[in-house]
Structure 1
Protein backbone atom coordinates (compact mmCIF):
# COMPACT_ATOMS: atom_id res chain seq x y z
CA UNK A 1 0.00 0.00 0.00
CA UNK A 2 1.33 3.44 -0.88
CA UNK A 3 0.61 7.09 -0.41
CA UNK A 4 1.08 9.24 -3.49
CA UNK A 5 1.78 12.95 -3.58
CA UNK A 6 2.30 14.80 -6.82
CA UNK A 7 2.25 18.22 -5.17
CA UNK A 8 2.93 19.03 -1.54
CA UNK A 9 0.21 20.12 0.85
CA UNK A 10 1.86 23.54 1.18
CA UNK A 11 1.20 24.40 -2.46
CA UNK A 12 -2.01 26.05 -3.59
CA UNK A 13 -3.18 23.22 -5.86
CA UNK A 14 -2.90 19.72 -4.45
CA UNK A 15 -2.97 16.26 -6.00
CA UNK A 16 -2.86 13.89 -3.04
CA UNK A 17 -3.94 10.22 -3.19
CA UNK A 18 -6.42 10.78 -6.02
CA UNK A 19 -5.41 7.92 -8.34
CA UNK A 20 -8.25 5.43 -7.83
CA UNK A 21 -6.18 2.64 -9.40
CA UNK A 22 -3.60 2.84 -6.60
CA UNK A 23 -4.28 1.14 -3.21
CA UNK A 24 -3.93 3.54 -0.29
CA UNK A 25 -3.68 2.85 3.45
CA UNK A 26 -3.31 5.57 6.07
CA UNK A 27 -2.97 4.24 9.62
CA UNK A 28 -4.70 6.22 12.35
CA UNK A 29 -2.41 8.84 13.84
CA UNK A 30 0.19 8.63 11.06
CA UNK A 31 -0.88 11.93 9.50
CA UNK A 32 -0.90 15.25 11.40
CA UNK A 33 -3.75 17.71 11.60
CA UNK A 34 -2.68 20.76 9.60
CA UNK A 35 -3.96 24.34 9.70
CA UNK A 36 -6.74 25.60 7.42
CA UNK A 37 -7.37 29.25 6.52
CA UNK A 38 -9.74 29.44 9.50
CA UNK A 39 -8.34 29.93 13.01
CA UNK A 40 -9.12 26.93 15.22
CA UNK A 41 -9.99 24.61 12.33
CA UNK A 42 -7.52 21.85 11.41
CA UNK A 43 -7.73 18.94 9.00
CA UNK A 44 -6.13 15.56 8.39
CA UNK A 45 -6.13 15.06 4.62
CA UNK A 46 -6.52 11.54 3.23
CA UNK A 47 -7.09 12.57 -0.40
CA UNK A 48 -7.46 15.90 -2.14
CA UNK A 49 -7.62 17.35 -5.62
CA UNK A 50 -7.69 21.13 -5.90
CA UNK A 51 -7.22 24.15 -3.67
CA UNK A 52 -9.58 25.41 -0.95
CA UNK A 53 -12.51 24.82 -3.32
CA UNK A 54 -11.62 21.15 -3.64
CA UNK A 55 -12.66 19.13 -6.67
CA UNK A 56 -12.37 15.98 -4.57
CA UNK A 57 -11.42 15.60 -0.91
CA UNK A 58 -11.64 13.19 2.00
CA UNK A 59 -10.52 14.43 5.41
CA UNK A 60 -11.05 14.54 9.12
CA UNK A 61 -11.71 18.12 10.18
CA UNK A 62 -11.35 19.21 13.80
CA UNK A 63 -12.96 22.41 15.12
CA UNK A 64 -11.71 23.94 18.38
CA UNK A 65 -14.25 25.19 20.90
CA UNK A 66 -15.97 28.33 19.59
CA UNK A 67 -14.45 28.10 16.11
CA UNK A 68 -16.17 28.51 12.76
CA UNK A 69 -15.59 28.37 9.02
CA UNK A 70 -16.46 31.22 6.70
CA UNK A 71 -19.54 30.85 4.43
CA UNK A 72 -18.71 28.64 1.49
CA UNK A 73 -20.40 26.53 -1.18
CA UNK A 74 -19.95 22.90 -2.20
CA UNK A 75 -20.01 22.71 -6.02
CA UNK A 76 -19.78 18.90 -5.80
CA UNK A 77 -21.79 18.42 -2.62
CA UNK A 78 -20.66 17.28 0.81
CA UNK A 79 -21.00 14.15 2.96
CA UNK A 80 -19.94 13.89 6.60
CA UNK A 81 -20.20 11.92 9.83
CA UNK A 82 -19.83 13.68 13.18
CA UNK A 83 -17.14 11.81 15.11
CA UNK A 84 -17.17 13.91 18.27
CA UNK A 85 -18.83 17.00 19.75
CA UNK A 86 -21.52 19.06 18.00
CA UNK A 87 -21.19 20.42 14.46
CA UNK A 88 -23.63 23.22 13.62
CA UNK A 89 -24.81 25.27 10.66
CA UNK A 90 -28.05 26.92 9.54
CA UNK A 91 -29.63 23.48 9.14
CA UNK A 92 -29.23 22.60 12.82
CA UNK A 93 -26.97 21.09 15.46
CA UNK A 94 -25.50 17.66 14.66
CA UNK A 95 -24.07 15.68 17.54
CA UNK A 96 -21.77 12.65 17.49
CA UNK A 97 -23.21 9.92 15.25
CA UNK A 98 -25.11 12.09 12.77
CA UNK A 99 -24.61 11.38 9.06
CA UNK A 100 -25.34 14.29 6.69
CA UNK A 101 -25.37 14.79 2.91
CA UNK A 102 -25.51 18.33 1.51
CA UNK A 103 -26.39 18.55 -2.21
CA UNK A 104 -24.42 20.01 -5.09
CA UNK A 105 -24.33 23.82 -4.85
CA UNK A 106 -25.29 23.91 -1.18
CA UNK A 107 -23.87 26.71 0.98
CA UNK A 108 -23.28 26.95 4.71
CA UNK A 109 -21.17 28.60 7.42
CA UNK A 110 -20.39 25.83 9.92
CA UNK A 111 -19.45 26.49 13.54
CA UNK A 112 -19.23 24.76 16.89
CA UNK A 113 -19.76 25.91 20.46
CA UNK A 114 -18.12 23.01 22.30
CA UNK A 115 -15.72 21.79 19.63
CA UNK A 116 -16.18 18.88 17.25
CA UNK A 117 -14.62 16.59 14.69
CA UNK A 118 -16.08 15.27 11.43
CA UNK A 119 -15.09 12.78 8.75
CA UNK A 120 -15.98 14.62 5.55
CA UNK A 121 -16.00 13.92 1.80
CA UNK A 122 -16.30 16.74 -0.74
CA UNK A 123 -17.29 16.71 -4.43
CA UNK A 124 -18.46 13.12 -4.39
CA UNK A 125 -22.23 13.75 -4.56
CA UNK A 126 -23.96 13.51 -7.97
CA UNK A 127 -25.87 16.49 -9.35
CA UNK A 128 -29.11 14.47 -9.62
CA UNK A 129 -29.21 14.12 -5.82
CA UNK A 130 -30.97 17.40 -5.01
CA UNK A 131 -32.07 17.05 -1.39
CA UNK A 132 -30.41 17.33 2.00
CA UNK A 133 -30.25 14.08 3.97
CA UNK A 134 -29.85 13.60 7.73
CA UNK A 135 -29.55 10.35 9.69
CA UNK A 136 -28.93 9.83 13.41
CA UNK A 137 -26.99 6.58 13.32
CA UNK A 138 -27.55 6.01 17.05
CA UNK A 139 -31.32 5.82 16.52
CA UNK A 140 -31.40 4.19 13.07
CA UNK A 141 -32.31 0.60 12.21
CA UNK A 142 -29.17 -1.54 12.04
CA UNK A 143 -29.56 -4.89 10.27
CA UNK A 144 -27.87 -8.18 11.16
CA UNK A 145 -25.86 -9.26 8.10
CA UNK A 146 -24.28 -12.35 9.60
CA UNK A 147 -22.98 -13.53 12.93
CA UNK A 148 -21.16 -10.64 14.68
CA UNK A 149 -21.78 -8.23 11.79
CA UNK A 150 -24.43 -5.47 11.92
CA UNK A 151 -24.88 -2.92 9.14
CA UNK A 152 -26.57 0.46 8.72
CA UNK A 153 -27.31 1.69 5.19
CA UNK A 154 -26.25 5.32 4.98
CA UNK A 155 -26.82 5.87 1.26
CA UNK A 156 -27.35 3.82 -1.89
CA UNK A 157 -27.48 4.95 -5.51
CA UNK A 158 -26.30 3.96 -8.98
CA UNK A 159 -22.75 5.14 -8.16
CA UNK A 160 -22.30 4.16 -4.52
CA UNK A 161 -23.26 1.86 -1.68
CA UNK A 162 -22.33 3.51 1.62
CA UNK A 163 -22.73 1.77 4.99
CA UNK A 164 -21.64 1.75 8.60
CA UNK A 165 -20.58 -1.67 9.82
CA UNK A 166 -20.36 -2.84 13.39
CA UNK A 167 -18.11 -5.86 13.73
CA UNK A 168 -18.31 -7.64 17.07
CA UNK A 169 -15.30 -9.19 18.79
CA UNK A 170 -14.09 -12.28 16.96
CA UNK A 171 -15.69 -11.46 13.60
CA UNK A 172 -14.03 -12.77 10.43
CA UNK A 173 -15.43 -12.18 6.94
CA UNK A 174 -15.32 -14.35 3.89
CA UNK A 175 -13.22 -13.05 0.99
CA UNK A 176 -14.87 -9.93 -0.48
CA UNK A 177 -14.36 -8.68 -4.04
CA UNK A 178 -16.21 -5.70 -5.51
CA UNK A 179 -16.31 -4.47 -9.09
CA UNK A 180 -15.98 -0.88 -7.83
CA UNK A 181 -13.47 1.03 -5.72
CA UNK A 182 -13.91 0.15 -2.03
CA UNK A 183 -13.10 2.58 0.77
CA UNK A 184 -12.95 2.14 4.56
CA UNK A 185 -12.67 4.53 7.50
CA UNK A 186 -12.36 3.16 11.05
CA UNK A 187 -14.54 5.14 13.45
CA UNK A 188 -13.74 3.12 16.56
CA UNK A 189 -11.99 -0.03 17.70
CA UNK A 190 -9.48 -1.91 15.56
CA UNK A 191 -10.27 -3.55 12.22
CA UNK A 192 -7.96 -6.08 10.58
CA UNK A 193 -8.18 -5.60 6.82
CA UNK A 194 -6.16 -7.90 4.58
CA UNK A 195 -4.20 -9.02 7.66
CA UNK A 196 -3.18 -5.48 8.68
CA UNK A 197 -4.53 -3.90 11.88
CA UNK A 198 -6.06 -0.43 11.61
CA UNK A 199 -7.17 1.64 14.60
CA UNK A 200 -9.62 4.54 14.67
CA UNK A 201 -8.88 7.35 12.18
CA UNK A 202 -7.42 4.85 9.70
CA UNK A 203 -8.48 5.28 6.06
CA UNK A 204 -8.04 2.82 3.21
CA UNK A 205 -9.04 2.75 -0.45
CA UNK A 206 -8.75 -0.32 -2.69
CA UNK A 207 -8.98 -0.38 -6.52
CA UNK A 208 -11.87 -2.18 -8.19
CA UNK A 209 -11.43 -5.93 -8.21
CA UNK A 210 -9.27 -6.11 -5.07
CA UNK A 211 -9.87 -9.12 -2.83
CA UNK A 212 -10.51 -8.02 0.76
CA UNK A 213 -10.94 -9.73 4.12
CA UNK A 214 -12.14 -8.01 7.29
CA UNK A 215 -11.84 -9.25 10.85
CA UNK A 216 -11.53 -7.88 14.38
CA UNK A 217 -10.32 -9.21 17.70
CA UNK A 218 -12.05 -6.79 20.08
CA UNK A 219 -14.62 -5.13 17.79
CA UNK A 220 -14.78 -2.14 15.44
CA UNK A 221 -17.14 0.30 13.72
CA UNK A 222 -16.18 0.94 10.11
CA UNK A 223 -17.52 3.23 7.36
CA UNK A 224 -17.51 1.55 3.95
CA UNK A 225 -18.16 3.07 0.53
CA UNK A 226 -18.35 0.89 -2.56
CA UNK A 227 -18.07 3.07 -5.66
CA UNK A 228 -15.65 5.90 -6.35
CA UNK A 229 -18.07 8.76 -5.83
CA UNK A 230 -16.20 10.39 -8.72
CA UNK A 231 -18.09 13.57 -9.62
CA UNK A 232 -16.91 16.06 -12.21
CA UNK A 233 -17.51 19.72 -11.37
Structure 2
Protein backbone atom coordinates (compact mmCIF):
# COMPACT_ATOMS: atom_id res chain seq x y z
CA UNK A 1 0.00 0.00 0.00
CA UNK A 2 1.34 3.44 -0.90
CA UNK A 3 -0.04 6.31 1.17
CA UNK A 4 0.97 9.67 2.56
CA UNK A 5 1.47 9.66 6.33
CA UNK A 6 0.31 12.43 8.64
CA UNK A 7 0.23 13.14 12.36
CA UNK A 8 -3.08 12.89 14.19
CA UNK A 9 -3.54 16.67 14.10
CA UNK A 10 -3.04 16.68 10.32
CA UNK A 11 -5.18 13.62 9.59
CA UNK A 12 -6.82 13.77 6.14
CA UNK A 13 -5.56 17.27 5.40
CA UNK A 14 -3.33 16.03 2.54
CA UNK A 15 -3.97 12.31 2.08
CA UNK A 16 -3.17 10.52 -1.19
CA UNK A 17 -3.80 13.57 -3.39
CA UNK A 18 -0.70 13.40 -5.60
CA UNK A 19 -2.16 12.29 -8.94
CA UNK A 20 1.30 11.51 -10.32
CA UNK A 21 1.85 8.79 -7.70
CA UNK A 22 0.27 5.32 -7.86
CA UNK A 23 -1.90 4.52 -4.84
CA UNK A 24 -3.23 1.12 -3.80
CA UNK A 25 -5.22 0.41 -0.65
CA UNK A 26 -6.35 -3.13 0.08
CA UNK A 27 -9.83 -3.65 1.45
CA UNK A 28 -9.79 -3.91 5.24
CA UNK A 29 -6.39 -2.26 5.66
CA UNK A 30 -7.96 1.05 6.72
CA UNK A 31 -10.43 1.42 9.60
CA UNK A 32 -13.76 3.20 9.60
CA UNK A 33 -13.24 6.32 11.71
CA UNK A 34 -15.74 8.61 13.42
CA UNK A 35 -17.15 11.72 11.77
CA UNK A 36 -18.67 14.73 13.61
CA UNK A 37 -22.08 13.05 13.26
CA UNK A 38 -23.04 10.29 15.71
CA UNK A 39 -23.52 6.96 13.95
CA UNK A 40 -21.69 8.01 10.76
CA UNK A 41 -18.23 6.56 10.07
CA UNK A 42 -15.95 6.75 7.05
CA UNK A 43 -13.04 4.89 5.48
CA UNK A 44 -10.94 7.57 3.81
CA UNK A 45 -9.00 6.81 0.61
CA UNK A 46 -8.00 10.35 -0.36
CA UNK A 47 -8.70 13.80 1.03
CA UNK A 48 -7.59 17.38 0.61
CA UNK A 49 -9.00 19.73 3.24
CA UNK A 50 -10.58 19.25 6.65
CA UNK A 51 -14.33 18.72 7.19
CA UNK A 52 -15.01 21.01 4.23
CA UNK A 53 -13.13 18.87 1.74
CA UNK A 54 -11.66 20.28 -1.45
CA UNK A 55 -11.30 16.72 -2.74
CA UNK A 56 -12.25 13.43 -1.11
CA UNK A 57 -12.94 9.77 -1.89
CA UNK A 58 -14.23 7.46 0.82
CA UNK A 59 -16.70 4.83 1.97
CA UNK A 60 -19.23 6.25 4.43
CA UNK A 61 -21.24 3.97 6.69
CA UNK A 62 -24.46 5.13 8.39
CA UNK A 63 -25.87 3.24 11.39
CA UNK A 64 -29.64 2.65 11.42
CA UNK A 65 -31.48 5.87 12.26
CA UNK A 66 -28.43 8.11 11.76
CA UNK A 67 -28.21 11.30 9.75
CA UNK A 68 -25.81 14.03 8.65
CA UNK A 69 -26.48 17.70 9.20
CA UNK A 70 -27.56 19.83 6.19
CA UNK A 71 -24.51 20.71 4.11
CA UNK A 72 -23.56 21.88 0.63
CA UNK A 73 -21.16 20.47 -1.94
CA UNK A 74 -19.22 23.36 -3.52
CA UNK A 75 -17.53 20.87 -5.87
CA UNK A 76 -20.44 18.47 -6.30
CA UNK A 77 -20.84 14.89 -5.13
CA UNK A 78 -20.89 11.44 -6.73
CA UNK A 79 -21.82 8.22 -4.97
CA UNK A 80 -22.78 4.56 -5.36
CA UNK A 81 -24.97 2.91 -2.72
CA UNK A 82 -23.21 -0.27 -1.57
CA UNK A 83 -25.66 -1.47 1.08
CA UNK A 84 -28.98 -0.44 2.61
CA UNK A 85 -30.97 2.69 1.74
CA UNK A 86 -29.46 6.18 1.63
CA UNK A 87 -32.04 9.00 1.74
CA UNK A 88 -32.27 12.76 1.38
CA UNK A 89 -34.84 15.28 0.18
CA UNK A 90 -34.43 13.92 -3.37
CA UNK A 91 -35.54 10.40 -2.53
CA UNK A 92 -34.59 6.98 -1.18
CA UNK A 93 -31.67 5.26 -2.91
CA UNK A 94 -31.21 1.54 -2.35
CA UNK A 95 -28.22 -0.70 -3.08
CA UNK A 96 -27.06 -0.24 -6.67
CA UNK A 97 -28.14 3.37 -7.21
CA UNK A 98 -25.61 5.79 -8.74
CA UNK A 99 -26.09 9.52 -8.07
CA UNK A 100 -24.36 12.75 -9.13
CA UNK A 101 -25.26 15.94 -7.26
CA UNK A 102 -24.10 19.11 -9.03
CA UNK A 103 -21.76 21.86 -7.86
CA UNK A 104 -23.43 23.92 -5.12
CA UNK A 105 -26.07 21.30 -4.28
CA UNK A 106 -27.30 20.99 -0.70
CA UNK A 107 -28.85 18.07 1.17
CA UNK A 108 -29.39 16.55 4.62
CA UNK A 109 -28.80 12.79 4.22
CA UNK A 110 -30.24 10.16 6.57
CA UNK A 111 -31.06 6.49 6.72
CA UNK A 112 -33.73 4.44 8.48
CA UNK A 113 -32.27 0.95 8.10
CA UNK A 114 -28.57 1.84 7.79
CA UNK A 115 -26.47 2.08 4.65
CA UNK A 116 -23.03 2.40 3.14
CA UNK A 117 -21.97 4.48 0.14
CA UNK A 118 -18.80 4.90 -1.94
CA UNK A 119 -18.61 8.66 -2.35
CA UNK A 120 -16.46 11.21 -4.16
CA UNK A 121 -16.57 14.92 -3.25
CA UNK A 122 -15.45 18.01 -5.20
CA UNK A 123 -14.81 16.09 -8.40
CA UNK A 124 -17.87 17.10 -10.45
CA UNK A 125 -17.28 19.80 -13.09
CA UNK A 126 -19.30 23.01 -12.90
CA UNK A 127 -20.46 22.37 -16.48
CA UNK A 128 -22.84 19.68 -15.13
CA UNK A 129 -25.80 21.71 -13.82
CA UNK A 130 -28.27 18.88 -13.24
CA UNK A 131 -28.79 16.02 -10.81
CA UNK A 132 -28.32 12.54 -12.26
CA UNK A 133 -29.79 9.25 -10.96
CA UNK A 134 -29.26 5.72 -12.30
CA UNK A 135 -30.55 2.46 -10.85
CA UNK A 136 -27.84 0.06 -12.01
CA UNK A 137 -30.01 -2.93 -11.09
CA UNK A 138 -32.50 -2.03 -13.84
CA UNK A 139 -30.12 -0.51 -16.40
CA UNK A 140 -29.09 -2.09 -19.70
CA UNK A 141 -25.58 -3.51 -19.35
CA UNK A 142 -23.35 -4.07 -22.39
CA UNK A 143 -21.71 -7.46 -22.94
CA UNK A 144 -18.05 -6.95 -23.78
CA UNK A 145 -17.38 -10.69 -23.73
CA UNK A 146 -18.82 -13.85 -22.22
CA UNK A 147 -17.09 -12.99 -18.93
CA UNK A 148 -17.37 -9.19 -18.92
CA UNK A 149 -20.35 -6.83 -18.79
CA UNK A 150 -20.04 -3.07 -18.44
CA UNK A 151 -22.41 -0.24 -17.56
CA UNK A 152 -21.57 3.38 -18.34
CA UNK A 153 -22.32 5.58 -15.33
CA UNK A 154 -21.07 8.85 -16.80
CA UNK A 155 -19.33 9.71 -20.06
CA UNK A 156 -17.99 13.14 -21.00
CA UNK A 157 -14.92 14.83 -22.45
CA UNK A 158 -13.44 14.85 -18.93
CA UNK A 159 -14.16 11.35 -17.67
CA UNK A 160 -15.44 7.86 -18.43
CA UNK A 161 -16.98 6.26 -15.35
CA UNK A 162 -18.35 2.72 -15.42
CA UNK A 163 -19.22 -0.41 -13.48
CA UNK A 164 -17.65 -3.64 -14.69
CA UNK A 165 -19.11 -7.04 -13.84
CA UNK A 166 -16.45 -9.71 -14.23
CA UNK A 167 -17.22 -13.42 -14.06
CA UNK A 168 -14.89 -16.08 -12.68
CA UNK A 169 -12.02 -16.76 -15.06
CA UNK A 170 -11.94 -13.28 -16.59
CA UNK A 171 -8.53 -12.08 -17.79
CA UNK A 172 -8.06 -8.72 -19.48
CA UNK A 173 -5.48 -7.70 -22.01
CA UNK A 174 -3.08 -4.96 -20.94
CA UNK A 175 -4.67 -1.50 -21.17
CA UNK A 176 -3.23 1.99 -20.86
CA UNK A 177 -5.13 5.28 -20.59
CA UNK A 178 -4.00 8.81 -21.35
CA UNK A 179 -5.67 10.04 -18.14
CA UNK A 180 -5.45 9.12 -14.48
CA UNK A 181 -7.49 5.94 -13.86
CA UNK A 182 -9.12 4.84 -10.62
CA UNK A 183 -10.63 1.53 -9.49
CA UNK A 184 -12.81 0.49 -6.54
CA UNK A 185 -13.77 -3.13 -5.88
CA UNK A 186 -17.44 -3.15 -4.86
CA UNK A 187 -17.69 -6.91 -4.40
CA UNK A 188 -15.75 -10.10 -4.98
CA UNK A 189 -12.00 -10.05 -5.54
CA UNK A 190 -9.72 -9.27 -8.47
CA UNK A 191 -6.05 -9.37 -9.31
CA UNK A 192 -4.94 -6.00 -10.65
CA UNK A 193 -1.38 -5.67 -11.96
CA UNK A 194 -0.45 -8.90 -10.17
CA UNK A 195 -1.85 -8.03 -6.74
CA UNK A 196 -5.09 -9.46 -5.35
CA UNK A 197 -7.68 -7.01 -4.03
CA UNK A 198 -10.82 -7.86 -2.08
CA UNK A 199 -13.98 -5.74 -1.82
CA UNK A 200 -13.42 -2.21 -0.44
CA UNK A 201 -10.04 -2.00 -2.20
CA UNK A 202 -9.24 1.30 -3.94
CA UNK A 203 -6.43 2.20 -6.28
CA UNK A 204 -5.43 5.04 -8.59
CA UNK A 205 -2.79 4.98 -11.33
CA UNK A 206 -1.13 7.88 -13.19
CA UNK A 207 -1.82 8.36 -16.88
CA UNK A 208 -0.20 5.83 -19.22
CA UNK A 209 0.17 3.15 -16.55
CA UNK A 210 -0.33 -0.37 -17.99
CA UNK A 211 -3.19 -2.16 -16.22
CA UNK A 212 -4.27 -5.81 -16.29
CA UNK A 213 -7.22 -7.29 -14.39
CA UNK A 214 -8.13 -10.93 -13.69
CA UNK A 215 -10.48 -12.70 -11.31
CA UNK A 216 -10.80 -16.31 -10.20
CA UNK A 217 -14.11 -15.93 -8.40
CA UNK A 218 -15.77 -12.88 -9.98
CA UNK A 219 -15.88 -9.19 -9.09
CA UNK A 220 -17.76 -5.93 -9.51
CA UNK A 221 -15.42 -3.01 -10.16
CA UNK A 222 -16.00 0.75 -10.45
CA UNK A 223 -13.61 2.44 -12.89
CA UNK A 224 -13.10 6.13 -13.55
CA UNK A 225 -10.83 7.18 -16.42
CA UNK A 226 -10.06 10.87 -15.86
CA UNK A 227 -9.93 10.94 -12.06
CA UNK A 228 -8.53 14.46 -12.18
CA UNK A 229 -8.30 17.51 -9.99
CA UNK A 230 -11.18 19.59 -8.65
CA UNK A 231 -13.15 21.00 -11.60
CA UNK A 232 -15.14 23.83 -10.05
Q: For 2:206 and 2:106, how far apart are their aligned partners in 1?
A: 32
CA change 1:140–1:13 in 2 (3 A) is closer
Q: For 1:232 and 1:200, how far apart are their aligned partners in 2?
A: 28
Confirm or deny: 8 A CA contact 1:161 1:227 kept in the other structure. yes
Tell me how far 1:232 sits from its aligned partner: 4.5
Partner of 1:18: 17
Tell me how far 1:147 sits from its aligned partner: 3.0
Partner of 2:123: 124
Partner of 2:76: 77
Superposed CA offset, 1:66-97 (max 9, x none): 00000000000000000000000000000000
Partner of 2:106: 107
TM normalised by structure 1 equals 0.97
Q: For 1:119 and 1:10, how far apart are their aligned partners in 2?
A: 25
Tell me how far 1:11 sits from its aligned partner: 3.0
Q: For 1:100 and 1:8, how far apart are their aligned partners in 2?
A: 34
Tell me how far 1:13 sits from its aligned partner: 6.5
Q: Which moved more, 1:140-149 or 1:60-69?
A: 140-149
TM normalised by structure 2 equals 0.97
Equivalences for residues 91-170 of structure 1 within 5 A: 91-170=90-169
Q: For 2:147 and 2:135, how far apart are their aligned partners in 1?
A: 22
Aligned: 1:41 with 2:40: yes
Partner of 1:189: 188
Q: For 1:223 and 1:81, how far apart are their aligned partners in 2?
A: 9
Confirm or deny: 8 A CA contact 2:23 2:205 kept in the other structure. yes
Q: Which moved more, 1:223-232 or 1:49-58?
A: 223-232
CA change 1:12–1:215 in 2 (3 A) is closer
Tell me how far 1:228 sits from its aligned partner: 2.0
Secondary structure, in 3 states, of the residue corresponding to 1:99?
A: strand
Partner of 2:56: 57
CA RMSD of aligned residues (A): 1.2
Runs (4+) of structure 1 moved beyond 2 Å? 7-13
Aligned: 1:87 with 2:61: no
Aligned: 1:3 with 2:6: no
Confirm or deny: 8 A CA contact 1:8 1:14 kept in the other structure. no
Q: For 2:53 and 2:43, how far apart are their aligned partners in 1?
A: 14
Tell me how far 1:9 sits from its aligned partner: 5.4
Equivalences for residues 203-222 of structure 1 within 5 A: 203-222=202-221
